[in-house]
Amino acid sequence: MPCPTAVGATAFWLTEPAGGVYSGASGAEQEHTAMEEITIRTRRQTDMIDITDAVQNAVGSAGIQRGVCTVFVPHTTAGVTINENADPAVVRDILMEIEKIVPLRDGYAHAEGNSAAHIKSSLFGCSTSVIVEQGRLQLGTWQSLFFCEFDGPRTRKVWVQVTRI
């Protein structure tokens, strides 16, 4: 069955805070740092979506062979994690157990009604880093990068920054 999730990537190059200026994608290989935004449409209220390929594409666009890739989720009800990609039962079990640890309804005070999602976001965290060697993310055999949705479905962003070392 085809995966209904759309993971798109749109490159945008930012002005470097230290004063250096990105000259656009074509000049990326000359720069120290590159940043790209990935757009994700999540499928359910709680979801984990493998974004490894999209992040690897961003690393490829950056043209940086050796460095660090930071994956940052700019949302308060979502997160990012690295875990097993081979058996989908692992993701199912993670989501099942996090639901027990942080129930959807538990007398929370936050008026928006999505406190469970905020708490899960903090438990998982909103960023992670992966080593880049020879232009490739250095992940273990069974590891993937997962975007974690806790208040979906909706359209989300992931920011990927690659820094040359």
Applying CB under 5 A, the residues found at the interface with Zn ion are: 112, 114
Residue 146 backbone zone (phi > 0: left; psi -120 to 50: alpha; other: beta): beta
Per the CB < 8 A criterion, the answer to whether 70 and 129 are in contact is yes
Of residues 77 and 144, the one with the C-beta less far from Zn ion? 77
Nearest distance in Å: CB 126, Zn ion = 15
Nearest distance in Å: CB 48, Zn ion = 20
| Alpha-carbon distance values, 43 to 79, 155, 158 (Å) | 15, 9, 16
Nearest distance in Å: CB 54, Zn ion = 26
Of residues 108 and 159, the one with the C-beta less far from Zn ion? 108
Tell me which residue has its CB nearest to Zn ion. 112
- The type of residue at 88 is P
Nearest distance in Å: CB 108, Zn ion = 10
Of residues 56 and 114, the one with the C-beta less far from Zn ion? 114
Per the CB < 8 A criterion, the answer to whether 149 and 44 are in contact is yes
Of residues 114 and 144, the one with the C-beta less far from Zn ion? 114
| Alpha-carbon distance values, 127 to 105, 122, 145 (Å) | 26, 10, 11
